[in-house]
Amino acid sequence: MKIRWNPFLPGAYLCALAAFSCLLCSSGAAQAQRLPANVVPSHYALSFTPDLQAATFAGSETIDINIKQPTNAITLNAIEIKFQSVEIRDSNGLAQSGAVSLDSQKQQATLTFAQTVAAGSATLRIQFTGILNNELRGFYLSKTARRNYAVTQFESTDARRAFPCFDEPAMKATFDISLTIDRGDTAISNSAVASDTPGPGADKHTVKFAPTPKMSTYLVAFVVGDFQCTRGEQDGVALRVCATPGKLALTSYALGVAKFALHYYDNYFGIHFPLKKLDFIGIPDFEAGAMENFGAITFRETDLLLDPKTASFAAKRNATLAIVHEMAHQWFGDLVTMQWWDNIWLNEGFATWMETKCTDAMHPEWNIPQFVAADEQQTLDIDALPTTRAIRAEADTPEEIDQMFDPIAYGKAGAVLLMVENYLGKETFRQGVHAYLTAHEYGNATAEDFWNAQTAVSHKPVDKIMDSLVEQPGEPILDFGVPAAGHVSVTQSRFFLSPSIQPDPAQKWTLPICFKTAGVGKSCELLTPSSTSLTTPADSLFFANAGGTGYYRSAYAPAQYKALVAQVETGLTPSERISLAGDEWAQVRANKATVGDYLNLVAALKADPNADVLSSATGNVGTIADRVAATRQERDALDAWVRSTFGPQYAKLSPPQAGDSPNAVELRAELFALLGNHGDPKVLAQAQSLAARYLADPTSVNPTLAQAALGIAAFHGDAALFDKLQNLYETSNDPDVKEQALRDLVLFTNPALLDRALNYAASGKVRNQDAAIELAIGLAVPENRDQTWNFIKTHWPAVQAQFTTEMGAMVVGSTGSFCSAEARDDVRNFFASHPVAASDASLRHAIERINGCIELRSLQEPNLKKWLDAQSK
Ligand SMILES: [Zn+2]
């Protein structure tokens, strides 16, 4: 699954949207939600007849099971399902019907039989009915202006909303799926269509799909509607990209990505794609970004469908990463699946790491390693909060399992795998992946299986490294002494952003530390819990995170840091510059450096030719303006400094041209947005004129620059611009264009227009998948924060009606953007009396962020004032 927690906001706001896990939930009672081990399914024959008008479905299933001990009761998972009849035939040929008792709290049904069912193979037949819900999970209804669709989303624990099943990842089985649907409609499922026959009845037809391979229930998928597809083929696999009508022109980009990635993965994994076909389906209503159902990947439309002529670079990169992320899961997750949800990080960390590796191979000109380095800074900041969790944590209830899909499972786990690959070498690591997948194909495995395979292949202590990173919460900071005579002293401790938290001195890691060298690039040493010094290369410049791929913070002695700043543009690669800036920002947060030190480093990077370096370093300037500056004068002075520092850099860029590299396009847009956001009047005028040109003819302006211009224009915009953007959202057929326009509505700072945007978000006219994101953006934009929060409080019933589970928690988490004790208490009190489902962890995290901001401001605001005064002199 690809979660969408951050694509809408500047990096500094990312953590506002990250849901955080509950680690304190008692596992004793939760453990009871696991199914008994006495019954193991091997095959399901499933038939569904959905009624898209009534939003209901009828289903029947036959499950082949193996019973270990004779029993009178069988427990499986079901919720929102009405059982019509239950029958079992056991290994002695005894057939009998059963009674059903439901436990909605455990989401289980227990089937009881008057006569004891014998051990051995048995067949369970169940007739049932259910609802096509509007919760974006289970078997659910998605709508367009024209019609209804019936679609599925089962990860993590929602297959049980569509059919009674043994809904645990290790209970793998094969599936025969059959759908009886309206004449004229099509159906897509995991396997290819085996037969399509008229009836029953004159206006129906029945589509039967070929048997699936052995797989987990959460990977089953089926969709019904009038989807239209573009077809292709790669390495003997039939590929289709499908969407609701009118969007075929937006499917060819994804098909090209899929063809590249299928071939790339066939080679990388050394295992041919295990199915005959692979479909990619854009769903109008979809909570996550995308879902890796075996052979039938489903997507939020923006993550699949785009027009390469008018899509921004960020939109293309986002869709490409999502597509290849889900394709990586076909092997790593679908073919080999985690034994239980506590190891979901291995799935998601692997796909997060692999999506960037595959995209980098497809588009070396996109500078993906820098993008990864910048992303890692965000993850390190989140992991330096006391509420972070260990990568592997217990999760037993559906609510606990859902909360495992967080930046730790994705970003941190991905960063750990990147570090290990960097240490072992690409080919050795690949062989470890191949060995792991081959040993467990069509089965389940644990994290130990993975790192033991890597340890066996590499003969290096991968088990110790991964164990120390996976089982312990938080991240290390390495304090380096002055390197001398080929050695450097080092002490490691857990790093917290807040200076008031003291780390436990017993917490230590085993880590590969790679020093930068002029010749071969890097020299890696293993740091163990007892290490006090490491061998260093004989190099004039001392940098302890070569390539920026190590998952740790570094702190240098003053002379070494000074030398790094002096040579930042000549001595370090772009990824290393991003890493250095991130480390320095962490030092500011920990009160070991001042905001002035950080801004001096930003000034040293002002002419950086790399867009990712610039955006990563200047993202924290926005944070300083929002969370450190306490007065209008300070913000004005900081704005003036940004304009005088970066204005000349922007002026030096040559005019945009058709053949500009993605970096050139991004760099221009970054500088443009930076100056526009810090009040440059010339850029504002340009933004208004570019926005007008774009709205008149979207092909007339570079799309990446156009998006930056629209944001700035909206910020200062009037009702006429608001109307145009709202109209674009309502009339465009391009999901990417729609989403951008909707996002811009909530950037208007004119209070009457912001009020219109907020009312619109809560009106029911905006899809549930988007409405909460609007509110989250409103809370993230400093100028719109108070009004958005007041709106949420005063329109609570309408606001809450827009929430799906994940989206409600996102809004709660976004209140962490406040920075005062009054606002903190207000947030806490409001949600105490207006509870939001599955959001306790998000609320704790938000409160922690507010407290962190109060502390940061009190420590650093005097430093900012002093530094700004010095600049003006
Ligand atoms: Zn995923």
* Ligand 1 centroid from CA 314, angstroms: 19
Helix segments in 4-131, DSSP class H: 14-17, 27-31
For residue 203, the Cα-to-chain-centroid distance in whole angstroms is 42
* Ligand 1 centroid from CA 193, angstroms: 26
Longest dimension (CA), the chain: 94
pLDDT confidence of residue 417: 98
* Ligand 1 centroid from CA 318, angstroms: 14
- pLDDT confidence bin for 26, thresholds 50/70/90: very low
Q: What are phi and psi of 496, to 5 degrees?
A: -120, 140
- For residue 262, which amino acid is it? L
* Ligand 1 centroid from CA 291, angstroms: 7
* Ligand 1 centroid from CA 66, angstroms: 31
Q: Is 74 left (phi over 0), alpha (psi -120 to 50) or beta?
A: beta
Q: How far apart are CA 170 and CA 452, in angstroms?
A: 20
Nearest to 384 by CA among 549, 550, 543, 552: 552
**Coil, helix or strand at residue 396:** coil
- pLDDT confidence bin for 12, thresholds 50/70/90: very low
* Ligand 1 centroid from CA 685, angstroms: 42
* Ligand 1 centroid from CA 776, angstroms: 23
Q: How far apart are CA 507 and CA 491, in angstroms?
A: 12
Distance linking the first and last C-alpha atoms of the chain: 53
- For residue 295, which amino acid is it? G
Q: What are phi and psi of 250, to 5 degrees?
A: -95, 5
In the predicted structure, residue 7 carries a pLDDT above the cut 60: no
Q: How many residues comprise the chain?
A: 873
Q: How far apart are CA 160 and CA 27, in angstroms?
A: 22
**Coil, helix or strand at residue 99:** strand
CA distances from 548 to 73, 217, 466, 746 (A): 56, 39, 18, 35
* Mean pLDDT score, 465-469: 97
* Ligand 1 centroid from CA 329, angstroms: 7
* Ligand 1 centroid from CA 196, angstroms: 32
- The pairing of beta strand 99-103 with beta strand 553-555: unpaired
Q: How far apart are CA 383 and CA 377, in angstroms?
A: 10
* Ligand 1 centroid from CA 1, angstroms: 3
* Ligand 1 centroid from CA 415, angstroms: 15
- pLDDT confidence bin for 427, thresholds 50/70/90: very high
Upstream peptide bond of 245 is cis (omega within 30 degrees of 0): no
* Mean pLDDT score, 752-772: 94
pLDDT confidence of residue 22: 30
Q: Which residues are within 8 A (CB) of 794 and not within 5 positions of it... i.e. 6 or more apart?
A: none
pLDDT confidence of residue 32: 62
Nearest to 92 by CA among 62, 120, 126: 120
pTM, two decimal places: 0.95
Q: Which residues are catalytic?
A: 326
- Of 23-32, 334-343, 369-378, 795-804, least confident by mean pLDDT is 23-32
Angle formed by the axes of helices 611-623 and 574-589, nearest 10°: 10
In the predicted structure, residue 13 carries a pLDDT above the cut 60: no
Q: How far apart are CA 147 and CA 149, in angstroms?
A: 7
For tokens 């740091």, name the residue: 527
**Coil, helix or strand at residue 443:** strand
* Ligand 1 centroid from CA 117, angstroms: 40
Task: Identify any residues that bridge with 67 across adjacent strands, giving them in sequence order.
Answer: 39, 120
- Of 123-127, 465-469, 519-523, 697-701, least confident by mean pLDDT is 519-523
**Coil, helix or strand at residue 86:** strand
* Mean pLDDT score, 128-153: 96
Q: Each residue of 222-244: pLDDT tens digit?
A: 999 999 999 999 999 999 999 99
* Ligand 1 centroid from CA 363, angstroms: 21
* Ligand 1 centroid from CA 219, angstroms: 12
pLDDT above 90 covers a percentage of the chain that reads 89
Q: How far apart are CA 154 and CA 291, in angstroms?
A: 9
In the predicted structure, residue 25 carries a pLDDT above the cut 90: no
For tokens 């081959």, name the residue: 438
Q: How far apart are CA 152 and CA 2, in angstroms?
A: 16
Q: How far apart are CA 85 and CA 432, in angstroms?
A: 48
**What value does the mean pLDDT of the chain take?**
94
* Ligand 1 centroid from CA 339, angstroms: 16
- 408 DSSP assignment: I
* Ligand 1 centroid from CA 322, angstroms: 9
* Ligand 1 centroid from CA 106, angstroms: 26
Q: Each residue of 383-402: pLDDT tens digit?
A: 999 989 999 999 999 988 98
* Ligand 1 centroid from CA 157, angstroms: 15
- pLDDT confidence bin for 1, thresholds 50/70/90: confident
Q: Which residues are within 8 A (CB) of 829 and not within 5 positions of it... i.e. 6 or more apart?
A: none
Do 44 and 75 touch, CB atoms closer than 8 A? Answer: no
In the predicted structure, residue 539 carries a pLDDT above the cut 80: no
Q: How far apart are CA 740 and CA 77, in angstroms?
A: 40
For tokens 């644990």, name the residue: 446
Q: How far apart are CA 407 and CA 397, in angstroms?
A: 20
Residue 849 is encoded by which pair of tokens? Answer: 């962020």
Q: Each residue of 150-171: pLDDT tens digit?
A: 999 999 999 999 999 999 999 9
* Ligand 1 centroid from CA 457, angstroms: 26
Task: Identify any residues that bridge with 223 across adjacent strands, giving them in sequence order.
Answer: 188
In the predicted structure, residue 15 carries a pLDDT above the cut 60: no
Q: Each residue of 599-624: pLDDT tens digit?
A: 999 999 999 999 999 999 999 999 99
